[in-house]
Amino acid sequence: MRILFIGDVFGRPGRDLVRLGLPVLAARHEADAVVANVENAASGAGITRETGEALLKCGIDVMTTGNHVWDRREALAYIGAEPRLLRPLNMSSAAPGRGAYVARLADGRPIGVLNVMGRVFMPPVDNPFDAAAAAADRLARECRVIVVDMHAEATAEKIAMGWHLDGRVAAVVGTHTHVQTADARVLPGGTAYVTDVGMTGPHDSIIGMERAEVLARFVTGLPSRMEPASANPRLQAVVIDADERTGLARAIERIDWSLDDISAARRTVDDERAF
């Protein structure tokens, strides 16, 4: 089973990248399932029903989130109505929604998705290591292939989660920093790992926001109003190849596509169709 995992979709540029790039990316990599972190999909902060439905329509099977999940108040109601939208499972039990989901592919094959959040430089949550291990054990009764979104700031905490779950899940992929890391690999126990998948959004920015306001904030220490950026949109993702008999990974590959790369791939697909 091949799983495409798309890094934090940021604002309209991110949603446009998914709409334009996802079909051709999924076709080229023969993706069976698509997971995307959507915590920044609505204007860079949170998720709405409208943006969520538009992303699902593009071919996303499961949407994960993180600390920005409640930035839009309507997400509190939307998450209850949309089981394909996850929030970190180690949030308070009072939070609506769920942190785990078993999706069914068109042919009925199951894939489990877990969403957890780290605790270092992040809002307080329960122990993600205990939560992820317990949830992985529960999901394993329903499905062989399990993918974990470890939404966290600190590289050490994410790497620790990779080792914690090595041999127990198909993949542990990091999100949240919006910077793709070059450490994608399959760990010795058979779990695909990357510290951060990156951001699907505007890269001439400061992790998605217009540079001037964020820079002013750092330089002057004064508050400033941040606006989502738009320049240099790039689709960042990983493709995981998982063995459905063992539930472990064979390979993980990083994706970093500009709009030009997407256009070129679309032309290739069109050319192939013409023959």
Point out the residues that are catalytic.
68
Three-class DSSP category at 204: coil
| Nearest-angstrom CA–CA distance, 19 and 58 | 6
Cα distance between residue 266 and residue 260, in whole Å:
10
Tally the residues of the chain. Answer: 275
Binding site for Fe ion (CB under 5 A): 8, 39-40, 66-67, 176
User: What are the phi and psi torsion angles at 194 (to 5°)?
Assistant: -145, 140
Maximum alpha-carbon separation in the chain: 59
Interatomic CA distance for residues 176 and 22, integer angstroms: 20
Q: For helices 11-28 and 259-274, give the axis angle rounded to 10 degrees.
A: 40
Is residue 6 within 8 Å of 197, Cβ to Cβ? yes
DSSP 84-122: TBB--TTS-TTSSSBSEEEEE-TTS-EEEEEEEE--TTS
Q: Where are the alpha helices (DSSP H) in the chain?
A: 11-28, 49-57, 75-81, 128-140, 155-165, 211-220, 259-274
Q: How far is the CB of 125 from Fe ion (least distance, A)?
A: 12
User: Which residue is it, tokens 């929030």?
Assistant: 87
Two structure tokens written together for 20: 């334009």
Residue 158 or 176 with smaller CB distance to Fe ion: 176
CB 110 within 8 A of CB 102: yes
Of 95 and 140, nearer to Fe ion (C-beta) is 95
